[in-house]
Structure 1
């Protein structure tokens, strides 16, 4: 068993002002995405300025934060937030939904693309390889918060989390998700998108791979206490929300390459 590193969730305290590691991880994700997008900006949109890119990153960040929070409220704990709506503002305590943030980014991309002569999937293909940076940083934030831990286990790397009332050795599922949703997904998308791909293919690869990684990790992650298992004693909300992503990703990839072949035949 490994010892859980005791990290104060508050990174900086300045009198009454507290800056949490969880919030800083969002800044790392947004900043990292902006830097990598800057490297690829010329090939994506030669006439775009860095200011235009900053606008895109800003609106996508708003989509992540607003969509992620509202998604958590709607998908995971609606009754608690109806009882106390002010809880919605306490984002530093966690409670963000990837699937809600994903919907938020899609809406922001659609809105931004309409105003900047880019189609929805052109923007999504450009954004998709950048997303794992934020996902990985967010999972580190979950680990520091000692939240979203896994099931009890006797694997050598199991940990006892200070927030666990049972004080059992558990899978560090946050680190599994960091490795898969952050590192592995970034590597797959970054190298896949380095060569020209048909429109929709990169978006499809993101949706498919994320959905698979999330679905698999949910088997060793404790479901949200207020929800438990949704169906058949093993299916979680995270898995239910990830299944459509897997199917959508496969469909987008198949359509992208089939459409490319059809276009080539016509030309």
Structure 2
């Protein structure tokens, strides 16, 4: 059984300025998105659409960052602690205390992409098809930050598991390094599958639909190894909040894919 490395959350201290590892992973996520976005401009159908330029990538990234931060925070407050934040509304602004939801961040990004599509007079599904393959690497970077910080650890594991790990703050029992599982599933594997899937002609909207299905499925699997939120525990049918939020993603993605297939010229 392994011991989680005690890594200080501050990567670099420059006088009063503290640069955290988690902040660096966010920067890496945004940088990877921009890099992959420039590669997407050379893929069909975008290579045949002259209105798509690097300026669009910069604007999508800007709106996307706002969507992630605002949606992630509001989603956490609404999905995980609604009663507390209704009683303490000013605490919603205390982002430095932690508390972000991927599912809320995804809704925030989708709202931002609706705004971008409307302002540029582009089909919303076309925008989502462009964005979807560029997202998983950012998710992977975020899971690296979770692992470095020793947070969002997994459930108790069999001590004979070679990679079982003891996390500081989680007691002395070995646990699944669920951050690594999510890095591999929702990050690396989902990126490879989506990138390859998007390289061949698809009906408009199907790439975005595959992201919804793929992330929802991989996150659902990973939640079996991730420790549920202490204040929620397991909900109906023995599933976590994360798993319940993934079900509409998978169903919605499947319905969208089928609908796009039927409209294929």
Question: What is the TM-score when the length of structure 2 is the normalising length?
Answer: 0.92
Shift in Å at residue 14 of structure 1? Answer: 2.5
Measured on the aligned residues, the alpha-carbon RMSD in Å equals: 1.6
**1:71 alignment counterpart:** 75
CA contact (8 A) 2:73 2:95 kept: no
> Of the candidates 164, 184, 198, which is equivalent to residue 203 of structure 2?
198
Whether 1:222 and 2:227 are equivalent positions in the alignment is: yes
Distance (whole Å) between structure 2 residues aligned to residue 146 and residue 88 of structure 1: 24
> Of the candidates 107, 132, 138, which is equivalent to residue 136 of structure 2?
132
**1:157 alignment counterpart:** 163
**1:29 alignment counterpart:** 29
Shift in Å at residue 11 of structure 1? Answer: 1.2
**2:194 alignment counterpart:** 189
**1:178 alignment counterpart:** 183
**1:2 alignment counterpart:** 2
Shift in Å at residue 27 of structure 1? Answer: 1.2
**1:250 alignment counterpart:** 254
Segments of structure 2 that go 5 or more residues without pairing to the other structure are none
CA contact (8 A) 2:155 2:226 kept: yes
CA contact (8 A) 2:164 2:175 kept: yes
> Of the candidates 62, 65, 73, which is equivalent to residue 61 of structure 1?
65
Distance (whole Å) between structure 2 residues aligned to residue 94 and residue 145 of structure 1: 12
Local SS of the residue matching 2:236: coil
Segments of structure 1 that go 5 or more residues without pairing to the other structure are none
Deviates more, 1:180-189 or 1:71-80: 71-80
Local SS of the residue matching 1:246: helix
CA contact (8 A) 1:67 1:104 kept: yes
Shift in Å at residue 71 of structure 1? Answer: 0.9
Distance (whole Å) between structure 2 residues aligned to residue 219 and residue 210 of structure 1: 15
Local SS of the residue matching 2:5: coil
**1:18 alignment counterpart:** 18
Local SS of the residue matching 1:169: coil
Local SS of the residue matching 1:7: coil
CA contact (8 A) 2:67 2:112 kept: yes
Shift in Å at residue 137 of structure 1? Answer: 0.7
**1:238 alignment counterpart:** 242
> Of the candidates 96, 101, 107, which is equivalent to residue 97 of structure 1?
101
CA contact (8 A) 2:117 2:127 kept: yes
CA contact (8 A) 1:181 1:213 kept: yes
Local SS of the residue matching 2:18: strand
Number of equivalences = 258
